Chains A and B, each alone.
Chain A
Amino acid sequence: MRLFRRVIPHPILTLLLTLTWVLLASSWTLNSLVFGFLLGLVIPFLTQPYWPEQARMKKPHKIAAYILIVLWDIVMANITVARIVLFKPNSRRQPRWVTVPLDLKTPEAITALAGTITMTPGTVSADLSAEGHALLVHCLDAEDPEAVRDEIKQRYERRLMEIFE
C-alpha cells in the first residue's frame, strides 16, 4: 500500500485524469488508456505544490448521487426561472438576500456548495462571511428566504458534509 501511495500519490486524481484523457481523445484504446494513465501520473506531480492541503473525501461514492440530484434540480429550477424571467413582471418579483450559516469547513466542500447554489437557477452565491462561516445567497424570487436557506442546508450541505467531512 505504501508503495502504491508512493507511485500513485493521488489515485483519484490519476483516475480522473486518465478518464479525462480518454474523454478528450474519444478513443477507448489501450494506447489511449496507457498514455492517459502516464499523464495522470505526471500531471498531479507537477500540480501538487499548488494544491498542498488537498482534502481527502470520506465517501467519494456518494458523489454520483449528489450530482444526479443537482442535475435534476437544475432542470426543474430552470423551468421555474424561465417562467419568472419571461412572464413575471419585475414589480411582482421578490429578489431576496439569504444568509446561509455553514457547517462545512473544508474549502472544497464549501466551494462545491456555493457552486451548486449558483448553478441551480434562481440562487446565486454572492459572498462568504469574513471568516467563512456563512454564505451570502441571492434569490431571484423568493417569498420565503428561510425556506430557501433550509432547503440549501438540507438538500445540499448535508450531502456534501457526508462526502467531505
Chain B
Amino acid sequence: MSLFLIAALPFLGAVFPALLIRAGRNASASAAGLTTFLAFTGLMLHIPAVFNGEVVQARFDWLPGLGLNANFFLDGLGFLFATLILGIGLLIILYARFYLSREDPMGQFYTYLLLFQGAMVGIVLSDNILLLLVFWELTSLSSFLLIGYWKHLPEGRQGARMALAVTGSGGLAMIAGMLILGHIVGSYDLSVILQNKDLIQASPLYLPALILILLGCFTKSAQFPFHFWLPHAMAAPTPVSAYLHSATMVKAGLFLMARLWPVLAGTPEWFYIVATTGLITMLLGAVIALFKDDLKALLAFSTVSHLGLITMLLGFGTKIAAVAAVFHIINHATFKAALFMSAGIVDHEAHTRDIKRLGGLRHLMPVTFTIVLVASLSMAGIPPFNGFLSKEMMLEETVHTLWGGSHYLVPGLALIAALFSAAYSFRFIVHVFLGPKRSDYPAQPHDPGPGMWLGPAFLITLVILIGLFSAKLAGPMVAVAAGAVTGGNDLPYYSLKLWHGLTPALYMSIAAVLGGALLLKLHRPLQAAWEAAPRPEAKAIFDRLMHGLTKLAQLITDGLHNGAITRYAFVMMLFIIGISYYAYQGGTLAAATREVQNVGPIPLIAWFCLVIATGAVVAKHRQRQLSLVLIGVVGLVVSMGFNYLSAPDLALTQLSVEVVTMVLLLLALNFMPKESPIKAPNWVRARDGAIAVIGGLGASALIYALMLRDFAMPSISEYHLANSYKGGGGTNVVNVILVDFRGYDTFGEIIVLGIAALVIFALTEAVLGTRVRAYLLNRKPDMPQAGDAHPMMMVVATRVMMPLALMVAAYIFFRGHNLPGGGFIAGLIAAIALLMQYMASGFTWASERQRVFYHGIIGSGVLIAAATGLGAWFNDMPFLTSDYGYLYWPPLEKFEWATAALFDLGVFLAVVGAVLLALESLARFAWQPGMSTEHAMDINPARDDAPQQNSDEV
C-alpha cells in the first residue's frame, strides 16, 4: 500500500465518524476502526521490505518553491512508530467504544482521534522536515481538541489550553530550528539532511538549530521543565490519555530526537542538553508519581519519568544507548497503555481514580487486577517482563556514562529514579488492588465486559511475550529501528535477554526493587513530608503566567487602542512629519531655478484676510457658528485666489461648493451643541499647537521649494494644452482634461458624490428608524425661534431667481468645454437653485413639488456618464473615448457638438441628485408634525381675498 494512502487513511477515517454522527455509536466506531485497520494492514504489507533494510518511499512535489514536499519514507524507525500508532490505535478505538458514555458525542471523538492518528502517522512517515512540521502542529491541535473533549470540565478546558500553549510554543521554536537545519543543508528532505552530519555539526548555526528543535521535542515529550502540562492533560477521557499521553504523542519528541539522532547527536552540546534533561525528568517524574493519589496522575508522572529515561538514553549519543532507547519505547508503550486503560477501567467501574478511596479490588476485578499486576511489574522492572529488559539496558548504559567528570552522578540518580519507579508501580498494585475490600466505593466495581479489557489484555500478553522471547519477538524490530536511528546497519553487539550475568545493572535493579518496596512501606510518612515540603506548583505558575499575559495583553491593547482618535491623529501627524523629515534630510536639494514673483497689494490683503480668518477660526473654534462665518471668509479668499491665479474653473467650483457646504454644516449644527465646551489642558493645547505649527511649516516649506523649481522634465500637461482643441474639441483645457483626457477620474468623482448621497440617505433611514426619531419629533429648539418661517420676500425672490439660475446653469454647462464652467459647476448651481426653494418655502412644500426622485437623478447621471463612455465601444474605441463634430441645419449656423458634453450631462445630473439627496436627507431630521403647510409663504395678503379653506398660518 502506498505510503500516501497509509498517511491519508486516518484522515479519511476522520471524515466518516463526523458524517456518521447520527448513524450511531457503533457506526462511527466501526468506521474509525476499519480505516485504522486498513492502514495497519497496509503498513504490515511493507514488513518484508522494511526488515530487509529497504527504505520505502513515496514522493510528491507539493510546494516546490519552498522545498516543502509531500515526501514519505518508511524505514525501521518509522515502521516501529507507525505500528505502535496504528496498532495501539486499534485497541484504543475498541476500548473507547465501550468506555465513553451515551451522552458523549462519539462521532466527534473518533473524528478527533483519527485526526490525531493521521497526524502522528504523518510525523513518523515524513521524509521532509517541513511536512513533518505540518503534522507536528496538527498533533498539537488535535490533542487540544481531545483534551478538551469534555467541554463541561474546567480542568479539561484549562488542560487543553495548557497543552496547546506548551506544545504549541515548542512547535513554533521547532519551525525555526527546522528552517535553520534546512538552510544549513540546502534541503528540507530528511533523506538529504540525514546524509549531512558533518555539514550540520560544523555549522555555526548548529547550536541554535539544536536548541530550537529540542525545544519542540522536549515540550512535546514533556521533558523538564515543560513536563507540567502532561498531568493536566489527564483531564481527557482515558482512551485519550492512554493513546496520546503514553503511547504516541508524547513519543513524538522522542521520535524526532531519534530521527535526527544521526546528524544531531554525538556532540557535547547534545549530550549535556539531552541527557541531562532526560535524567532530571526521569528522576523528577518518578519522585512526583509516587505521591500522586490520582491514578491517572500517577501514571502521567510515571510517563514523564519514562520519557525522561528514553530521552536520556538518546542523549548519551552512543549507539548502544540508542538501541536501549528504541527497545524501551516499545516496552513502555505496551505496559503503559495497558496501565492507562486499566486505570480507566477502575475509574469507569468504581467512579473514582483516587487511590485513597480504593483498595481490595483484586477480588472484585480479577481480570483487571491481572492486567495491572503484569503491567506494573513490568514498569517496576521485575523480570521476566519486558520492562525489566530495557531498564536493565538503561542502567547498564548509565554505568558507562561520565557526566562532567563524575562516574557516579548519572548511575546514582538513575538508580534513585528506578527506585521510585518501582515504588509507585508497587503502589498501584498494593494500594488499589490489595488490602481489604472496602465498603465505600462510589460505585460497586466489577470487571467490565471484554470490549474494555481485551485491549489491555492483548498488551500485557505482549509484555510477557517480549519479556520471555525478546530476541525472537522484539529483536528484529529493535534491530531495524535502531539501525534507522543510528543511521546504518553497523550496530554494536547487544543481546536482548533476561539473564546477562551478574552485572552492575543487575545489582542496581535488585537495589531498585528492594528500595522501591521499602519506599512503599514508608509511603505514609513520606507522603506527609512531601506534602509539607514547599514546592512550586507548575499549574499555579502557568496559570499566573497566562493570566498575567492575558492581562498584559488587555492592558496594552486597551491602552493603545483606547478609542481616543485625538491621540491616534497626534501619533499619525508626528509619524508623518518625522518620516518625511527623515526622507528629506537623506536627499539633496539643488538651488532654486525660478524667480519669486512680485506681489501687488490686493493679493497681500487677501492673504492677510485669509491668515487672520484662519487664526480666528482656531481661536474661536468653540463658538461654532462664528467659526462657520470665519470659514466663509477663508472660502471666499481661496476662491478669489484661484480666480486671480488663472484658475477660474476652480474659483467657480469652490464658490458654489462653499455655499452647499455651509448649508450642510448649518443644518447639522442645528441639532448639535452650539459651543464646544471641552477645553483641553494647556499642555495638550501647547503640544497640539507645536505639532500643528511644525506640520504647517513643513507644508509651507515643501510647496515653497517646489514652486521655485522647474520640472526636470516637461509636464505631460504640455500635451494637454497642445491637444485640447485638436483632439478634445474644447478650448477650456481644464474642462477637456476633466471630461476627456482624465474623464475616468471624473467618472470616479461623480460616483464618489453619488455614493456620498446614498450613504447619507441610508444613514438617515438608519437613524430615523431608531428611538432617535421620537427624540427628534419632540425636540424643542435650543434657541428662541423667531416667527415667519417662510418670509414672503425670500419666497418671491427665489421664485424669480430659479429660472434665471437654471439659465445660468445651462449657460455654464454649455460653455464649459470652451470657457470656464462645465457640468459640475452647473450642477451645483442648479442644485442651489432648488435648495433655495427648500430654504424659502420649507421642506414639505418643496419636496412635494419634486417630481423626480433624487435617487433616480443620481442613477441616471452615473448611467449617462457610463453609457457615454461605453458608446465608444461601438467604434471599437476604449471606454470614454470622445468624439466631436458639427451639425448644420439651415438657416441656423453650424452647431458644435461633443460626446464629452453628454458625459458632462451625466456629471451634471449626478451632482444635482447627490447634493439634493444629501440635503433633503439632512432636512428630514428636522421635520416635525406641526411643520407641514400647504402654503409656500407664511404671510400672503393675497389670500385675504381667497376663500379661507384652512387657516394653517403659523
Contact = CB atoms under 8 A, between A and B. Distances in A.
Contact of A108 (B796, B815, B939, B944): B796
A98 interface: no
Interface in B25-50: none
Nearest to B849: A49
Interface string A19-39: 011001100011100100001
B941 A24 contact: no
A54 to B, nearest CB: 8
A49 B851 CA distance: 9
Nearest to A115: B793
Nearest to A102: B941
Given A49-B851, A51-B802, A128-B788, A17 B796 contact: no
Interface in B773-814: 787-788, 791-793, 795-797, 799, 802-804, 806-808, 810-811
A111 B794 CA distance: 9
B837 interface: yes
B803 A107 contact: no
A145 interface: no
Given A49-B849, A105-B942, A111 B793 contact: yes
Interface in A79-106: 102, 104-106
A139 B791 CA distance: 21
Interface string A111-128: 100110000000001011
B940 A25 contact: no
A24 B893 contact: no
Contact of A44 (B792, B795, B796, B803): B803
A110 B941 contact: yes
A127 to B, nearest CB: 8
Contacts of A50: 799, 802, 837, 841, 846, 849
A9 interface: no
A20 B802 CA distance: 13
B299 to A, nearest CB: 90
A68 interface: no
B799 A39 contact: no
Contact of B810 (A39, A51, A104, A105): A39
A65 interface: no
Contact of B941 (A34, A127, A131): A131
Contact of B803 (A47, A102, A106): A47
B892 A47 contact: no
Nearest to B793: A111
B803 to A, nearest CB: 5
A46 interface: yes
Tell me which of B796, B799, B811, B841 has the highest count of chain A C-beta atoms within 10 A of its own C-beta: B796
Nearest to B814: A35
Nearest to A128: B939
A23 to B, nearest CB: 9
Interface string A42-59: 011011011111000000
Interface in B854-909: 891-893, 895
A132 B939 contact: yes
A133 B945 CA distance: 13
A105 B892 contact: no
Contacts of B803: 13, 17, 43-44, 47
A107 B851 contact: no
Q: In terms of DSSP, what is the predominant structure of the interface of chain A?
A: helix
B808 to A, nearest CB: 7
A128 B792 contact: yes
A44 B810 CA distance: 13
A106 B942 contact: yes
Interface residues of A, number: 38
B120 interface: no
B939 to A, nearest CB: 4
Interface string B831-861: 0000001000100001001010000000000
Contacts of B793: 110-111, 114-115, 125, 128
A24 B811 contact: yes
Interface in B918-954: 936-937, 939-942, 944-945
A7 interface: no
A138 to B, nearest CB: 15
A164 to B, nearest CB: 10
A23 B656 CA distance: 22
Contact of B940 (A20, A40, A43, A107): A107
Contacts of B811: 21, 24-25
Contacts of A111: 792-793, 796-797
A125 B794 CA distance: 13
A17 B807 contact: yes
Given A31-B895, A107-B942, A47 B802 contact: yes
Contacts of B937: 107
Contact of A132 (B799, B892, B940): B940
Contacts of B841: 50
B808 A24 contact: yes
Contact of B891 (A30, A51, A104): A30
Contacts of A107: 792, 795-796, 937, 940, 942
A13 to B, nearest CB: 6
A31 B891 CA distance: 9
Nearest to B894: A31
Nearest to A45: B803
Interface string B576-611: 000000000000000000000000000000000000
Contacts of B941: 102, 104-105, 110, 131-133
Contacts of B791: 128
A12 B837 CA distance: 21
A130 interface: yes
B889 to A, nearest CB: 10
Given A39-B810, A49-B851, A30 B939 contact: no
A124 to B, nearest CB: 12
A31 B892 contact: yes
A110 B792 contact: yes
B792 A132 contact: yes
Contacts of A24: 807-808, 811
A17 B799 CA distance: 14
Interface string B369-403: 00000000000000000000000000000000000
Contact of A43 (B795, B806, B892, B945): B806
Nearest to B812: A24
A127 B941 CA distance: 14
B689 to A, nearest CB: 41
Interface string B292-305: 00000000000000
B796 A39 contact: no
Given A102-B941, A131-B939, A30 B892 contact: yes
A39 B811 CA distance: 10
A126 to B, nearest CB: 11
Nearest to A52: B936
Contacts of A106: 942
A29 B810 contact: no
Nearest to A14: B803
Q: Which among B807, B837, B936 has the highest number of chain A CB atoms within 10 Å?
A: B807
Contact of B799 (A29, A51, A114, A127): A51
Contacts of B942: 53, 105-107
Given A50-B799, A50-B802, A43 B807 contact: yes
Interface of B: 787-788, 791-793, 795-797, 799, 802-804, 806-808, 810-811, 815, 837, 841, 846, 849, 851, 891-893, 895, 936-937, 939-942, 944-945
3 smallest beta-carbon distances between A and B, as pairs = A111-B796, A132-B941, A49-B849
23 contacts: A13-B803, A17-B803, A20-B808, A21-B810, A24-B808, A29-B893, A31-B892, A31-B895, A43-B806, A47-B806, A50-B799, A50-B837, A52-B936, A105-B942, A107-B792, A110-B793, A111-B796, A111-B797, A114-B793, A115-B793, A128-B939, A131-B939, A131-B944
Given A30-B893, A50-B802, 16 more contacts: A20-B808, A31-B892, A39-B810, A44-B803, A46-B806, A47-B799, A49-B851, A50-B841, A50-B846, A107-B792, A107-B795, A115-B793, A125-B793, A127-B788, A132-B940, A132-B941
